[in-house]
Amino acid sequence: MGQPHDARLDRIEAYYDCVPRAVATVEQVGPFTLFVADEGTGWQFYARPRLGVRHTFTPDDVCRVLERQRELAVPLAVEWVDEVTPSLLPAVRGAGHEPHRYPLLVMPSDVEVAADPRARPLEPAEPHLSLALGSVSAGFEGRDEVEPTDPGRHPEMMERGDLVVVASFEGNRLCGAGSAAPRGEVAELMAIAVPPGHRGRGHGTAITSSLVAACRERGVEVIFLSAGSDAAADIYRRVGFVDVGTACVLGVDD
């Protein structure tokens, strides 16, 4: 007998379907929903299985949605949760592609998580915001040189409550940052990174804990993330996150 279905996955799926719609054109391509980012957002989206549609995916389904993305000159990308849409992985492989697979983790509602005093939410107009976004880029690129990054629409989204940005400090020195995107009672943590020179001192854990605390203060019940590596997943597990599924990400170089 298989594992019982985790109802939190349904809420995560609904979240994935909701978030891009405010800044994207939406098109149905067979059993997929294709999100095409509005011009000027600076973001790139993907295709996902249509919410609530039961379908056994085929390689032809995958080829059709990739071809439509090619026609639109947008990234050839498909994302899904393996446990929710188990037929899509063999269909993608049947179409000749191999996706990345990442641990999908969720914070249990009964696990207490306190904000770390080193890490705090930033204000939309705060000068540290550009530096925080730059530190995330530096962390992912493995460099210590941090260049301030144009915040773009981040302040607007923070004002609306659609985005929380937390930065960790040593004194007045910013050491890393991360974000959360609350939508109602569900939020995803994302873009958590620390430049190499500040690693090993607990800043990743501090950022994650403070993001969880900030989301809970806003009434969020389901807090989740996908970990980009096993090492990153171990950091999140130490905070209290548990594995709930597998996030699959297909990106095709054309």
Distances from the Cα of 123 to the Cαs of 55, 69, 93, 129, in angstroms?
44, 37, 44, 8
pLDDT-based confidence at residue 253 (cuts at 50, 70, 90): confident
How large a percentage of the chain has pLDDT more than 90?
Answer: 86
| DSSP H/E element including 230 | helix 230-239
**119-220 fold:** Aminopeptidase (3.40.630)
Q: Where in the chain is the domain with CATH 3.40.630.30?
A: 119-220
Query: pTM of the predicted model, to two decimals?
Result: 0.91
Angle at which helix 203-217 crosses helix 230-239, to 10 degrees, equals 50
Q: What is the pLDDT of residues 97-156, one digit of tens each?
A: 999 999 999 999 999 999 999 999 999 999 999 999 999 999 999 999 999 999 988 999
Average pLDDT value for residue range 23-32: 95
Is the pLDDT at 92 greater than 90? The verdict is yes
8 A C-beta contact, residue 168 and residue 116: yes
Is the pLDDT at 254 greater than 70? The verdict is no
